[in-house]
Structure 1
Amino acid sequence: MTLFEDLQWRGFVKDVSNEEKAKDLLDNQKTKFYCGFDPTGQSLTVGHLVQIVRIMLIAKYGHTPVVLIGGATGLIGDPRQTSERKLLTLEESLQNAEKIKVQLSQFQKDAIFVNNYDWISKIDMIHFLRDYGKNFNINYMLSKETVQARLDTGISYTEFSYMLIQAIDWLHLYQTLDCKIQFGGSDQWGNITTGLELIRKTVGDQHDAVAMSSPLLLKADGTKFGKSESGALWLDESLTSAYELYQYFLNTADDDVLTYFKMLTLLSKEEIEAIVEVSKAEPEKRIAQKRLAAEIVELVHGKEKLASALNVTESLFSGEFSKLSLNELMMAKKGLDSVTVEGEINILDALVETKLASSKREAREFVKSGAVLVNEAKITEFEHQIHKATAYFEKYVIIKRGKKKFALVELL
């Protein structure tokens, strides 16, 4: 299988400016390619994994990735379909850019990292309009899908000009680094092709640059990938724990598993198809989901964090928490209803406050029937007080009600 065929099989190819030229560059040559990430936040999300895995895959075939962090474009804001983005300060944009650079370098250490603020900030308004703006008429810019979507609600000149700045990026990388391919999601196609047009008008029709896009990753039901009930899933572990990431992919619908394996892991076609086939024979065991979750957590956080996520998962299933480290207990906390109290708390009050019981009357019934455990010890007295003496790490208490209901009490 050639690289281009591998990209097609995985669903990484939607639009290609010149398929023949793309195949030649990818399959027969060693070239530089780039993908950009705007620092609109302090961390990338799970949604960015599509582009990250594609970068890693192409690099495996011997090509050189150029990872662009948009310190400048992050100040402008790529037009959203709904409304204007909130503008970042220069300090916020550059700080976020540095954090995202560190994050991305963990995936591809030998990539060439660049920040477009380094060259965009040196262009004055007169030269921006004369050297770049003059190359595009308004009709061309209005025809772009991202702009079309905003014409009814309105779009500022700031966001309208975003495509020109991204176009300058590619021209700059093409001329200084001989970067011939730009990749991005299909929602970036208008911006990507604007860069291709600027290269054509600057260098001439004989240029060898190629634009490519991939479909946006959606769930089988058409809903957005990468969102949990609590919001975005971040690649920064301080924002989304390895356990939370594992649980998200463990709960992947059967219809989505194959697509996620293709676009979010580096497993081979043969490995992926074998895993999915085995899983189909025994779907109740969720073999494919477990492997998928493990592959992604290991990719994002490493083997040690994967082991912790598996340990927390097993503890929540079995109800045995005594073997968890403090960090693992903190992971488990994110998956539990929890309350914070000062000093100590009565077991009946704790059951109600953690929502393990709807009332004290119901709480008494649970205790009376032997259905309540505190740190794996059965509670039989209504007067039982939860305090630090029996807490894990002198601070945390796990209450279990029945077979599968858990909550955490943090004692101050």
Structure 2
Amino acid sequence: MSTRVFRSVSSPSRMTLCRTCLLRSMTATRQHRRPLHLSTIEKQRKAQEAWDLRAKKIENGEEMDLWDNFKERGYVKDIAGTDDQIRELMRRKRIGVYVGIDPTAASLHLGHLLPLMPLFSMYMHGYRAISVVGGATAKIGDPTDRLKTRDEVSRSDRTVFTTKIHYQLKRIWQNVDLQAKRYGFEKEWSWNRELLNNSSWYNTTPFLEVVNRLFKGMRVGPMLTRATVKRKMAEGDGMSLAEFVYPMMQAWDWWEMFSGPKRVCMQIGGSDQYGNIIAGVDAVKLLRDTEPNPQVKLPDDLLHTPVGFTVPLLTDSAGNKFGKSAGNAMWLDPFMTNSFDLYGYFMRRPDNEIEKLLKLFTFLPLEQINKIMEQQNLDPPKRHAHHTLAFEVLALVHGISEATATQARHRQMYSKDKTLLVTPTSIGEVDSYPQGVYPPSATMALNFRPDIKLPESLIMSKSISRILYAAGLASSFNDAHRLVSHRGAHVGGAPGRSAHDNKEMRLGEVAFQSVKNWFPGDTKNFLIDGKILVLRRGKHFVRIVEMITDEEWEASGNSYPGESGKGRLRLLREQLTAVNGGKNPRLSSDELSRLGEQLSRLEREGDIALEDANTSVPRNIKFPPTRSRAAQLLDKYTRDQQRNPHIILSVKQKTSAIDKVLAGARKVLEEKKRVRDKALATATDRESQF
């Protein structure tokens, strides 16, 4: 190793450093700082001036304080801190606020939505709003209000739960932006929201740091006095050490966000989380006051004080808590509780609860809610308030279009006027990634079932392009191949590693990397628990593929796109053989695939679209009993062979033949469309004359 000799400035003695040590010493003191652009600094200044002006108006009584609005709407049940303290903190500072959710099930339910509602409202009013998925804390499970220890969840199930809830929250946050626009909130530069996973810091924080900073300063006595601990030890199956320190893990989450640039001063939770929030407040204060580094130590003042509050629990008509454990959860996943049933749940709520639920689950101004209730009281059987409540919740969770369609279906089903026609229609379940018919939006992704099962022979021995096509993330094998080539698909795994030495996603995290053309045998490196493969296309379309044995697949009777002997190519080859008098057309799989794609495109754009604009695209290719385009292609192909039987047409010649036939078909379709448009225009003119 080469060395360089340096003479110290303060001492005449010589010192010798190797090149590596020198570079390490230089990089250790160098801190990477992202420079702020002048325009960003100016935006920050203007945002702070606007906030100070708002605080002055609230102080003078010219504008209502958001905390008082929360109390009036019924969001506030228990407070960690004082009422005046929280009000003043929210008035003076653009604080950060968070809600944490442990992924212990495959979906969120209405009980989770309730503490999220004030979080969404604070986001619309300019606060920093953060939703945290507890990928790490879910490994232990919150023991609050439980007498029995939670059942152990497998690694694969926990990964599935975390992935589903992550993308569920992501879609709901997008709907929050749309809801804000509906109610007149103009999105400003200072609006800030984040979706985090606490595994991101628990997987990188040394355990000794948590023990040294937090555990050493907390006393066991106060923790033993908690009602949850005493009840589980006296009436339940005892409390493990992991369950005992669960509140401290949740408190460390808060500290990670409190001590960093996010400056999260507030936590919101259900009323069963009050003990954890109180413990978190004490822990954050302890960590703040015992910070050993004076450069990052925060002062003990109002603007750096942790506070929190809880919302009332959502209960059923019998007073039982909603949730997975109680078995009465109303899930926000449309494949677990469909939109119609979720709408019906709010329609069945007693009249005396509707006003309270309108305040809790909608962003409607209080004045408008009063008007809705006045209209409700004038004619209770019409259930105007119930319809408004159900529509607003579905618009937030599933989107405006789904809420409109579901409301129309419900009104038609329960209306006395059976002649009522429903014009809005729900999109329905989406089997594959949408292309051409609908844009691939978050609303479409809501109807895209994430779970799918595929056989081991496909996952372990076929290319990733075949798997993407079979999983419904590509319209054809060629489309999947292009997708992989352009890095448009993603697979759950360890980012930054190649396929042959990749590792599955770290437990509790949701991490992806671009799909590449790796060897089929390398796909096993991305399997979670040896059976779960997580794939994604775009921002929202996720497939959680469960690998099953070939025997189980055969017994299921299912088939997947591109499956040998069961797919579109087999159907197309049989139809081509039939119109050719039983002779095999001798087209390769790639040629058949290309022909099938173009015929499907022509059918979508041509005859079917002209005959009925509302007809959905058929899942299989259907040919008319007369000479079809496929038969025309086959005629052209066989004529060339008859003229030159000793010559075998090349792929280029076959492709040219296909293109000629399709070009002629397009001309015919364009002529049909022109004639039809002319006929419709003539009919319209005649009607206008009358």
TM more than 0.5: yes
In the alignment, the residues of structure 1 paired with residue 370 and residue 132 of structure 2 have an alpha-carbon distance, to the nearest angstrom, of 33
Q: CA deviation at 1:196?
A: 1.2
Query: Are 1:171 and 2:235 matched, yes or no?
Result: no
The equivalent of 2:76 in structure 1 is 13
Q: Which has the higher contact order (CA 8 A, sep 6+)?
A: 1
The equivalent of 1:150 in structure 2 is 232
Query: Are 1:56 and 2:155 matched, yes or no?
Result: no
Query: Are 1:266 and 2:363 matched, yes or no?
Result: yes
What letter matches 1:13 in structure 2?
A: V
SS of 2:132's partner is strand
Residues 52, 107 of structure 1: 8 Å contact kept = no
Of the structure 1 ranges 57-66 and 310-319, higher mean CA displacement relative to structure 2 is found in 310-319
SS of 1:224's partner is coil
Q: CA deviation at 1:94?
A: 3.8
What letter matches 1:122 in structure 2?
A: T
SS of 1:212's partner is strand
Q: CA deviation at 1:35?
A: 0.9
User: Per the alignment, do residues 61 and 280 of structure 1 end up closer, same or farther by CA in structure 2, a change over 3 Å counting?
Assistant: same
What letter matches 1:129 in structure 2?
A: V
User: Per the alignment, do residues 175 and 328 of structure 1 end up closer, same or farther by CA in structure 2, a change over 3 Å counting?
Assistant: closer
> What is the percent sequence identity of the aligned residues?
30
The equivalent of 1:217 in structure 2 is 314
Q: CA deviation at 1:13?
A: 1.2
In the alignment, the residues of structure 1 paired with residue 426 and residue 312 of structure 2 have an alpha-carbon distance, to the nearest angstrom, of 41
Query: Are 1:88 and 2:153 matched, yes or no?
Result: yes
Return the structure number with greater strand share.
1
Residues 312, 328 of structure 1: 8 Å contact kept = no
In the alignment, the residues of structure 2 paired with residue 271 and residue 221 of structure 1 have an alpha-carbon distance, to the nearest angstrom, of 30
Residue 100 of structure 2, aligned match among 11, 16, 36: 36
In the alignment, the residues of structure 2 paired with residue 196 and residue 50 of structure 1 have an alpha-carbon distance, to the nearest angstrom, of 22
For residues 71-91 of structure 1, the C-alpha deviation after alignment (integer angstroms, 9 at most, x for no partner) is 001111000423111233444
The equivalent of 1:26 in structure 2 is 90
Q: CA deviation at 1:124?
A: 4.4
Residue 100 of structure 1, aligned match among 165, 170, 190: 165
SS of 2:69's partner is helix
- Show the 5 A alignment for 1:225-264: 225=322, 231-264=328-361
SS of 1:150's partner is helix
Residue 115 of structure 1, aligned match among 185, 197, 206: 197
Consecutive unaligned residues in structure 2, runs of 5 or more: 1-63, 175-191, 290-299, 431-615, 617-690
In the alignment, the residues of structure 1 paired with residue 408 and residue 369 of structure 2 have an alpha-carbon distance, to the nearest angstrom, of 25
Residues 343, 390 of structure 2: 8 Å contact kept = yes
SS of 2:131's partner is strand
Q: CA deviation at 1:50?
A: 0.6
Q: CA deviation at 1:251?
A: 1.0
Provide TM-score, normalisation by structure 1.
0.73
Q: CA deviation at 1:185?
A: 1.3
Residues 163, 194 of structure 1: 8 Å contact kept = yes
Residues 120, 165 of structure 1: 8 Å contact kept = no
In the alignment, the residues of structure 2 paired with residue 248 and residue 129 of structure 1 have an alpha-carbon distance, to the nearest angstrom, of 46
Residue 160 of structure 1, aligned match among 228, 232, 244: 244
Q: CA deviation at 1:102?
A: 1.6
What letter matches 2:150 in structure 1?
A: R
Residues 229, 244 of structure 2: 8 Å contact kept = yes
- Show the 5 A alignment for 1:69-80: 69-79=133-143, 80=145
Query: Are 1:282 and 2:379 matched, yes or no?
Result: yes
What letter matches 1:83 in structure 2?
A: K
User: Per the alignment, do residues 86 and 322 of structure 1 end up closer, same or farther by CA in structure 2, a change over 3 Å counting?
Assistant: farther
Residues 12, 214 of structure 1: 8 Å contact kept = yes
SS of 1:169's partner is helix
In the alignment, the residues of structure 1 paired with residue 426 and residue 91 of structure 2 have an alpha-carbon distance, to the nearest angstrom, of 49
What letter matches 1:272 in structure 2?
A: I
Residues 2, 27 of structure 1: 8 Å contact kept = yes
Consecutive unaligned residues in structure 1, runs of 5 or more: 331-392, 394-412
Q: CA deviation at 1:113?
A: 1.6
The equivalent of 1:291 in structure 2 is 388
Query: Are 1:308 and 2:377 matched, yes or no?
Result: no
The equivalent of 1:379 in structure 2 is none
User: Per the alignment, do residues 232 and 220 of structure 1 end up closer, same or farther by CA in structure 2, a change over 3 Å counting?
Assistant: closer
User: Per the alignment, do residues 155 and 313 of structure 1 end up closer, same or farther by CA in structure 2, a change over 3 Å counting?
Assistant: same
User: Per the alignment, do residues 304 and 150 of structure 1 end up closer, same or farther by CA in structure 2, a change over 3 Å counting?
Assistant: same
For residues 350-405 of structure 1, the C-alpha deviation after alignment (integer angstroms, 9 at most, x for no partner) is xxxxxxxxxxxxxxxxxxxxxxxxxxxxxxxxxxxxxxxxxxx9xxxxxxxxxxxx
Provide TM-score, normalisation by structure 2.
0.45
User: Per the alignment, do residues 323 and 184 of structure 1 end up closer, same or farther by CA in structure 2, a change over 3 Å counting?
Assistant: closer
The equivalent of 1:410 in structure 2 is none
Between the two proteins, the alignment pairs up a number of residues equal to 331
Residues 347, 386 of structure 2: 8 Å contact kept = yes
User: Per the alignment, do residues 265 and 200 of structure 1 end up closer, same or farther by CA in structure 2, a change over 3 Å counting?
Assistant: same
Q: CA deviation at 1:172?
A: 0.9
Residues 137, 250 of structure 2: 8 Å contact kept = yes
User: Per the alignment, do residues 64 and 201 of structure 1 end up closer, same or farther by CA in structure 2, a change over 3 Å counting?
Assistant: same
User: Per the alignment, do residues 293 and 219 of structure 1 end up closer, same or farther by CA in structure 2, a change over 3 Å counting?
Assistant: same
Residues 96, 128 of structure 2: 8 Å contact kept = yes
What letter matches 1:202 in structure 2?
A: L
Residues 217, 225 of structure 1: 8 Å contact kept = yes
Residues 409, 422 of structure 2: 8 Å contact kept = no
Q: CA deviation at 1:307?
A: 2.5
SS of 2:335's partner is coil
Residue 189 of structure 1, aligned match among 255, 269, 274: 274
Residues 111, 313 of structure 2: 8 Å contact kept = no
Residues 43, 236 of structure 1: 8 Å contact kept = yes
- Show the 5 A alignment for 1:330-369: none
Residues 401, 426 of structure 2: 8 Å contact kept = no
What letter matches 1:291 in structure 2?
A: T
In the alignment, the residues of structure 1 paired with residue 156 and residue 199 of structure 2 have an alpha-carbon distance, to the nearest angstrom, of 12
SS of 1:106's partner is helix
Give the CA RMSD over aligned residues: 2.8
